Amino acid sequence: MKHIFLNLKRFDVPAQMGGVNRIAPLADWGKTIVEGTQDGLSQYDPSDVEFAMYFPEAHVLGAVGAKKADSALKIGTQGVYRGDVAVGGNFGAFTTNLPAAAANALGAETVLIGHCEERNDKMGILAEAGITGSEAAAAVNRLLNQEIKCAQAQGLSVLYCIGEKSEELDTWETVLGNQLSIGLDGVDTANVVIAYEPIWSIGPGKTPADKPYITKIAQFVKAQTNGMDVVYGGGLKTDNAQMLASIPEIDGGLIALTRFAGEIGFYPAEYLEIIRLYMNK
């Protein structure tokens, strides 16, 4: 089965405020994205491909409300906290954090965990306490493992991101191996998909990971996880859609921006075109 994921990051911020949102007023943003894409996705067989979108929390309700009963989309959140609400226990003392129960109550079906931006945030907090290097990385992996377990306890599927930085290229097997073994420890992997982010190759002026490298990593992940599905998390776009589709070990991709020049940002019609190219329609 193929998986096409969409991480909308903070693409909701209006362009006049320094963001990239030119498609809708803020209150209608989630609704506009769902309404602009779900009919176009209906041509794909849901037994062949899964579609999920990860929204900033403020837009989940609008996105869920815009879904048609037969929509192929799954709406998700961009993370959950490592603790949760419990009957007879903590009933909501999670100021600034999103427990998995709240994500579930919003109507989310899936969650993005371990994105490189989340890992960097956690590493930065640990660095302020003087904890760095492999000790910090292991701690982050343990925290992400707790998040995955909270998500699964609430019935949410998980897209779990792994990846290595430029300074970790010589030790990529250890880095990725630890992210998998610690992050997935005790986890039901049946509803988890792995997203591989070559962090060293993402961003302006960097050389994108090529087909042989991506293939090597995907083969490694499948060998380490008994064949779990692996998608390319470094950005599925028009320029690489057909190349990624040609890699047997890659089971889909993670889309973010759809336009990288001019009025950069996310545009629903361009999102559908990327999927068309990847699915060879």
| Residue whose entry in the numeric block shows the structure tokens 């921006």 | 257
Q: Per the residue annotation, which of 3, 50, 115, 147 is the catalytic one? A: 115
Q: Per the residue annotation, which of 118, 147, 164, 197 is the catalytic one? A: 197
**Residue 115 among the catalytic residues:** yes
The catalytic site residues sit at: 115, 197
